[in-house]
Structure 1
Amino acid sequence: MVVDTISELILKPLTTNEIKPKGWLLRQIQIQAEGLSGNLDKFWPDIKESKWIGGDKEGWERVPYWLDGFIPLAYLLNDDDMKKRAKKYIDAIIHGQEDDGWICPCSKVERERYDMWALFLLLKVLVVYYECSKDGRIEEVIYKATKNLDRHIDRFTIFNWASTRWFEMLIPIYWLYERRNEDWLLNLAIKMKAQGFDYQALYENWPYEKPQAFGHWSQMNHVVNQAMAIKSLALFSRISKQEEDKTFAELMIEKLFEYHGTATGIFTGDECLSGNSPIQGTELCSVAEFMYSLEHLIQITGETKWADKLEYIAYNALPATISPDMWTHQYDQLVNQVECSRIEEGSQPFNTNNGEAHLYGLEPHYGCCTSNFNQAWPKFALSAFMTTDKGIACVTLAPSTVETAINDVDVKISLSTDYPFHNKLIFCVNVSEPVEFAFDIRIPGFSSSATVNGADTKSGEFYTISKTWNNEETIEVVLQFETEFIERPENMVAVRRGPLLYSIAIEEEWKMVNYGNKEKLRVFPHCDYELFPKSQWNYGYADKKIEYTFNGVSDIPFSTKEAPIKAKAKVVEIDWPKTNGVVTKVPVDRKPISQLIKEVTLLPYGCTNLRMTEVPYIDLEK
């Protein structure tokens, strides 16, 4: 394969200087800044005392993971204190770079066994920092580190996490090539693929139709690796120019969802792929990384289907595994989750994680998610608008504003909406002087119908308005959604309406885990909690008529107590027990305990902490 350039992106991302969240999305990232994400460097040893800044704690992935979200969060909020704290880490990392370009915190004798995944991640972070800050030092730092990597892997090929995540290095390589245009960078990209794990061979000969035996752990079916790798060959297609590379993500997603999919739009993995049971867990890191993969697929292909998937995960699986105040999170979320209490070893539903992985806390089970989950919301906010060869596209639907220039004319487009909780979108387009460009509005594929300024349009496509724009113009988009009862394994169903999945709400009691007076780290507000149910969960749907009420978005968008939208459904009680705090995979008996039909509240999945999502439909006429 002769490589002489890289292909252009169909949709090009904008920066924190051009996109700003507003409305409920702004409030959501403010909550994140007020919670764990915005405070980890103040108290968590793996960030506060990391080897990356001269300390003696973890000096591998956790600081880069945290910075990957903290940096865009700081700049989206234009928070001077957060920017200053981010710069402190960047300054220390740059100061630690050695003359030969090596930048990771280890001794020279340790280099040959250093897992270079941390470098790939760090260089991605430096790209993010440059795009936010325009710091003039960054390009040379990345150049020297990448040169060093090119020499290093000729002697010490990549292994372990670097091997299974080789494609992540393509992101800083491409960024650098667009600035330096040096052929060795493209050759390095080819070396990365040659030395990296071959996901194509794995998925074309798929061995993971079922979860592996309890306790068996493998890099090859590790859930976060799969979530990351979904973008792998699409990224490489910018070099190969091969259509099959660009579409490989479709094969991966087909296999993952056929054997390990859930109603939430994410696949199970705790930490390895775990089947399609609603009581298997999904690691939070995989949610954040699947979103990031989809953002790249959108840019490379320009296809709206990837934006549909991105939104669905962002509005369901992401908020459901983080407490509404964003001070605590789970390592594993369960689709049917009636209790989050400590489970004795050997009794947990997880194949490879311990019985505390589903607690809400600082670092349940393992701390990678503590540092990594915070990239999801800021990067999602940055996916709202992108540029095209002919203008601007609204890619994901969330309240936000873009300010940029087209043909040297200032253009501002603002989206006001309570979507996904409500169905109306109001765009306001302002231009400083007349200018011609195309404005593309994505109409979600899960809308049953849609209108733009009263005119019918197709779902699952971009609606394009190409014209000369003058002064200020308003565009109104109205989306219609229908209730769907999604079929799930074991003759179960889940309720979905448009971009939101719904769950039977369970009242909850939060109990702080008491680790004793000597505990200094897991203390309020960054403490651990067990959650216990205070209402019933053992129901099956008895009617397909669901009634919805929009209540407006509160100060906490994904609030359990003040959910923006609620629904009422008719159910009957069935025999569905729990053991060790976990419901059985399916009910013991689907015959109603009584003929009494009850009305229960359904909440958006993302507004729940305890929930029943995949349940049977009981036909009372049989």
Structure 2
Amino acid sequence: MQISVHSIARVLKDKRWDNKMKTKPIAELTFQPLTTNEIKPKGWLLRQLQIQAEGLSGNLDKFWPDIKDSKWIGGDKEGWERVPYWLDGFIPLAYLLDDEDMKARAKKYMDAIIDGQEEDGWICPCPKEKRGQYDMWALFLLLKVLVVYHDCSKDERVEEVVHRAMVNFDKHIDQFTIFDWASTRWFEMLIPLYWLYERKQEEWLLQLAVKLKAQGFDYASLYEDWPYEKPNSSGHWSQMSHVVNQAMAVKSLALFSRISKQETDQQFADKMLEQLLTFHGTATGIFTGDECLSGNSPTQGTELCAVAEFMYSLENLIQVTGDVKWSDQLEYIAYNALPAAISPDMWSHQYDQMVNQVECSRIEEGKQPFRTNNGEAHIFGLEPHFGCCTANFNQAWPKFALSTFMKTKKGIACTAFAPAEVETTINDQKVKIDLETDYPFRNTMQFTVQVERPCAFDIDIRVPAFCSSATINGKQAKSGEYYHISKVWTDGETIDVILYYESEFINRPEEMIAVRRGPLLLSIAIEEEWNKIDYGENETLRVYPHCDYEVTPVSPWNYAYVDKEIDFQFHQVADMPFNPAEPPLEASAKVVEIDWPQKDGVVTRTPAGRKPMSEVKQVKLLPYGCTNLRMTEMPFIKL
């Protein structure tokens, strides 16, 4: 999968490549991301970020050893990916909330990391004699964090720190080619690399990008003749089918297309996702992976890291391509798979979530449904199965908030719907656009434009492809496209948007169906009981509020739909937006009980029988993201 350093050198010495570098700098992004200084969350989105700050994300540095006592800040605990993972979400969270205490705590970590950079530019906590064995994935992640920190804080030290680290890395991989996680995630380094190139215009950086691609894992070749249509029956673990790697790699060649200018590189994400969702997809719009790709059964798990990283990949695809479909998919993941794997108070999370999940209790080793994860991977806790998701899920909501608006060449595009406002400069004039909405729980929104004096610029509003129709200020707008408004704006003008969509039954494998309403997937609600796991009096880490829970059902769940009429009730968005106790909307559907076995807390993939075992009854459906226990993919029976 890799080529030799000498082969890379020949490519870099080729005069045709040198000329290409000089005449074809990196392509501009279609949509430029905005920063925490320009975007501010509002409404339920602001509350969701506040809950995150009050929960695990905002407190890991106070008690979790891998953050609190990390080698990154002079301690003796983990000195690889966990601190950068946590900072990648904690920093934008602190600045989106404008929380001075959180900003100060972030600065403490960044000061320690920056001060720890060695004279030759090496910045990771690793003895010099062991550098050749250090997996450089942590460096890629850290440099991304430094860029995030600069964009939030405007810390003038960052650019030089990143530059010195890049120079060191460029020399390092001439001797020690990247391996393991750095190899399968090579493209993540392009993000800080492009950021630095746009500031310094140094051509060696583009040559470094080519080295990275040459040394990194070749996903294009893998997906050309893909060997992973079926999961490995033996539970064999592989980097090549690892779910988080796939979630990250979706954006890989789209990022590289900024250098290559190849349309096929931009199109690779479509090809990759088509195969992933065809053979391993679930009703949530993401693929299974527990820990590697695990097929399309609703009782297989999906790792929370994969959800967070898939969202980040989609955000990058939006920036590169400007395509509505990536925004549609981003919203669908953000409003369903993301909140479903985290408790409503965000003090606990799952490692693996299941689409049909009727119980979250510890399973005896060897009896769990997961192919490579243990029987605790689906409980809600501090670090079930493994601690990577504990640190990494923190990035998802803050970066989603930063993806609600993006900048175009002539104005602003609303790329994802959530209550937020953007304040930026267009044509040397301050412009503010405020979006008020309870979307995705409602289908209406209002934009208000504020300008100091009349100002000409464009506003592009995405119309999701799932809409049957839409109106913008009373005019019909085409689904699956951006509605373009170009005019001279005066202060206080408004834009009213109404999206029209109905509930629909989507087909799933094994003659199952799931119910979707626009951006929300719906599930049969299961009443639940949470039981704190007692690890004994000597346990000091998994204690309240950062403790582990088993969640068990106290209501039936073994149903089949018998009618396609879904009735909805809408409620005010509560203090915890994604909470089964106070859902923003609920629905009712007609079902019958059927024979559906459960063993070791897990339902079988399909029911044992599809004959009614009860009279028709009404059951409650909730948004998937508001559930902890649920049945989502179910049969439909014609009575």
SS in 1 for 2:105: helix
Tell me the number of residue pairs that the alignment of Structure 1 and Structure 2 aligns.
Answer: 619
1:280 maps to 2:300: yes
Runs of 4+ in 1 over 6 A off after TM superposition: none
Aligned to 1:610: 629
> Once the two structures are superposed, what CA deviation does each residue of 1:482-509 show, in whole Å capped at 9, x if it has no partner?
1110100000000001000000000000
Deviation at 1:460, TM superposition (A): 1.0
Q: After TM superposition, list the pairs within 5 Å mapping 1:558-573 onto structure 2.
A: 558-573=578-593
1:477 aligns with 2:497: yes
The yes-or-no answer on 1:234 pairing with 2:254 is yes
Query: One-letter code of the match for 1:3?
Result: M
How many angstroms apart in 2 are the aligned matches of 1:94 and 1:456?
Answer: 53
Q: CA deviation at 1:405?
A: 1.1
Q: Is the 8 A contact 1:7 1:241 kept in 2?
A: yes
Aligned to 2:132: 112
SS across alignment from 2:239: coil
In structure 2, the residue matched to 1:520 is 540
Aligned counterpart for 1:24 among listed residues 23, 41, 44: 44
1:360-371 equivalence runs, <5 A:
360-371=380-391
Structure 2 residue runs without a partner (length 5+): 1-16
1:446 CA drift (Å)? 1.2
Amino acid at match of 1:259: F
Letter in 1 for 2:475: A
Confirm whether residue 442 of structure 1 aligns to residue 462 of structure 2: yes
Equivalent-residue separation in structure 2 for 1:13 and 1:433 (angstroms): 25
CA distance in 2, matches of 1:456, 1:246: 31
Aligned-pair distance for 1:422? 0.4
Give the aligned partner of residue 406 of structure 1: 426
Give the whole-Å Cα distance in 2 for the aligned partners of 1:541 and 1:424. 29
Determine helix, strand or coil for the equivalent of 2:88.
Answer: helix
Secondary structure, aligned partner of 2:637: coil
Local SS of the residue matching 2:228: coil
Q: Is 1:588 equivalent to 2:603 in the alignment? A: no
SS of the residue 2:21 aligns to: coil
Name 1:315's counterpart in structure 2: 335
TM-aligned CA deviation for residue 397 of structure 1: 0.3
* Alpha-carbon shift at residue 363 of structure 1 (Å): 0.1
Given the alignment, which residue of 602, 618, 621 partners 1:599? 618
> C-alpha offsets along residues 299-355 of structure 1, whole Å, 9 cap, x if unaligned?
000101000000000000000000000000000000000000000111000000000
Q: CA deviation at 1:214?
A: 3.2
What corresponds to 2:171 in structure 1? 151
Give 1:448 shift.
1.3
- Aligned twin of 1:416: 436
2 CA distance for matches of 1:356 and 1:447? Answer: 39
Counterpart residue identity of residue 602, structure 1:
L
In 1, Cα distance between equivalents of 2:429 and 2:111: 36
Question: Which residue pairs with 1:3 in the alignment?
Answer: 21
Q: In structure 2, what is the Cα distance between the partners aligned to 1:460 and 1:502?
A: 22
Cα deviation for residue 215 of structure 1 reads: 2.9
Task: Tell me the SS of whatever aligns to 1:247.
Answer: helix
Residue type matched to 2:376 in 1? E
Which of 80, 83, 101 matches 1:63? 83
In the alignment, which residue of structure 1 is the partner of 2:8?
A: none
In structure 1, runs of 5+ residues without a counterpart are: none
**Alpha-carbon distance in structure 1 between the residues aligned to 2:218 and 2:425:** 42
Matched, 1:460 2:460: no
Helix, strand or coil for the counterpart of 2:299? coil
Amino acid at match of 1:64: P
Matches of 1:215 and 1:445 in 2, distance apart?
A: 37
CA contact (8 A) 1:3 1:240 kept: no
Query: In the alignment, which residue of structure 2 is the partner of 1:53?
Result: 73
SS at the partner of 2:124?
A: coil
Query: For residue 352 of structure 1, what is the aligned residue in structure 2?
Result: 372
State the alpha-carbon separation in 1 of the partners of residues 139 and 293 from structure 2.
26
Partner Cα distance (1:508, 1:281) in 2:
20
- Structure 2 Cα separation of the partners of residues 214 and 606 of structure 1: 32
Which residue of 2 is the match for residue 132 of structure 1?
A: 152
Superposed CA deviations along residues 120-141 of structure 1, whole A, max 9, x for unmatched, are 0000000000000000000000
Aligned pair 1:496/2:516, yes or no? yes
CA RMSD in angstroms comes to 0.6
| 1:530-577 deviation digits (Å, cap 9, x = unpaired) | 000000000000100000111110000001100000000000000002
Q: How does 1:33-432 map to 2 (within 5 A)?
A: 33-432=53-452
Q: What is the CA distance between 1:476 and its match in structure 2?
A: 0.5
Alpha-carbon offset, residue 593 of structure 1:
1.0
Q: Give the letter aligned to residue 526 of structure 2.
A: I
Separation of aligned partners in 2, 1:157 and 1:467? 53
Secondary structure of the equivalent of 1:213? coil
Q: What is the rounded CA distance, in whole Å, between the counterparts of 1:68 and 1:347 in structure 2?
A: 35
State the alpha-carbon separation in 1 of the partners of residues 233 and 617 from structure 2: 40
Q: What one-letter code is carried by the residue in structure 2 that aligns with 1:110?
A: K
Quote the Cα distance in structure 2 between the aligned partners of 1:444 and 1:527.
39
Give the superposition deviation at 1:213.
2.4
Preserved CA contact (<8 Å) 1:505 1:612 = yes
Q: Structure 1: how far apart are the matches of 2:372 and 2:138? A: 23
Residue by residue, what CA displacement relative to the aligned partner does 1:210-241 show, whole Å, maximum 9, x if unpaired? 11023310000000000000000000000000
**Residue type of the alignment partner of 1:230:** V
CA distance, structure 2, for counterparts of residue 333 and residue 197 of structure 1: 28
Checking the alignment, whether the CA contact within 8 Å between 1:505 and 1:611 is kept in structure 2 is yes
Structure 1 equivalent of residue 3 of structure 2:
none
Q: Give identity over the alignment, percent.
A: 73
Q: Partners of 1:133 and 1:459 in 2: how far apart?
A: 38
CA distance in 2, matches of 1:552, 1:249: 38
Q: Secondary structure at the match of 1:405?
A: strand
